Amino acid sequence: MIQVENLTVRYGGVTSLDGLSLVFEKGTCGLIGPNGAGKTTFFNVLSGFVRPASGSVRAFGEDLLALPHFRRARWGVRRTFQTEQAIEELSVYDNVAMMSSPLRGAARRADVLGAIEFAGVGAPPLARVGTLSAGQRRLVELARAVAGRPRLILLDEPAAGLPDEETAHLAAVIKAIPEYTGALTILVDHDMSLVSAVCETTAVLDFGRLIASGPTAAVLRDSRVMRAYLGTAEVL
Partner 1 sequence: MTVETKGGAAATAAAQRLRLLRRPQRPAHLAVVVVFAAFALFALPPLMSLYYTGYMTLVAIYSIVTLGLGLLVGRTGLYSLGQGAVLQIGAWTGARLLFATSQPFPVVVIEAGLVTMGIGTVIGLPALRLRGLYLALITLMLAGAVTVALATVNFPNGGGGFTGYNGTSVHIPPIRRPSIAGTDPAYYRYAVVVALLMFALVYAHLRTRPGRAWAAIRQSEPAALAAGINTTFYKLWAWSLASFITGVAGAMLAGQARYLYSINFSTQDSIILLAVALMGGVYNLWGAVIGALLMQLLPAILQNLGVSYAWLTILFGLGVLQVLTTAPAGIADQFPKDARRLGGLLTRLARARRPGPPRPPAAPPGTPPQAPSRGEAT
Q: Is 157 in the site for partner 1 (CB under 8 A)?
A: no
Q: Which of 3, 8, 56, 100 binds partner 1 (CB under 8 A)?
A: 100
Partners of 28 in the β-ladder = 185
Q: Which is nearer to partner 1, 165 or 179 (CB)?
A: 179
Segment interacting with partner 1 (CB under 8 A) among 29-37, 117-125, 157-165, 226-234? 117-125
Sequence-distant (6+) residues with CB within 8 A of 220 are 192, 195, 196, 202
Helix (H) or strand (E) holding 19: strand 14-24
Q: H or E element: which one contains 180?
A: helix 164-181
Instruction: Write out the binding residues for partner 1, residues 41-60 only, by CB under 8 A.
Output: 47-49
Whether residue 73 contacts residue 98, with contact meaning beta carbons closer than 8 Å, is answered with: no
Who's near 193: CB < 8 A, 6+ residues apart? Answer: none
Among 40, 123, 144, 206, binds partner 1 (CB under 8 A): 144
| Stretch near partner 1 under the rule CB under 8 A, chosen from 7-15, 19-27, 30-38, 93-101 | 93-101
d(CA 172, CA 185): 14
CA atoms within 13 A on the CB side of 91: 11
Q: Is 196 left (phi over 0), alpha (psi -120 to 50) or beta?
A: alpha
Q: Note whether 126 binds partner 1 by CB under 8 A.
A: yes
Q: Which of 163, 182, 215, 231 binds partner 1 (CB under 8 A)?
A: 182
151 binds partner 1 (CB under 8 A): no
The reply to whether 231 sits near partner 1 by the rule CB under 8 A is no
Determine if 113 is a binding residue for partner 1 (CB under 8 A).
yes
How far is CA 189 from its chain centroid?
A: 9
Q: Write the CB contacts of 113 (distance below 8 Å, at least 6 apart in sequence).
A: 93, 125
Shortest distance, position 128 Cβ to partner 1, whole Å: 11
Q: Which stretch binds partner 1 (CB under 8 A): 52-60, 178-186, 188-196, 210-218?
A: 178-186
| Chain residues in the site for partner 1 (CB under 8 A) | 47-49, 69-74, 77-79, 81, 85-90, 93-94, 97-100, 106, 109-111, 113-114, 116-118, 125-126, 144, 179-182
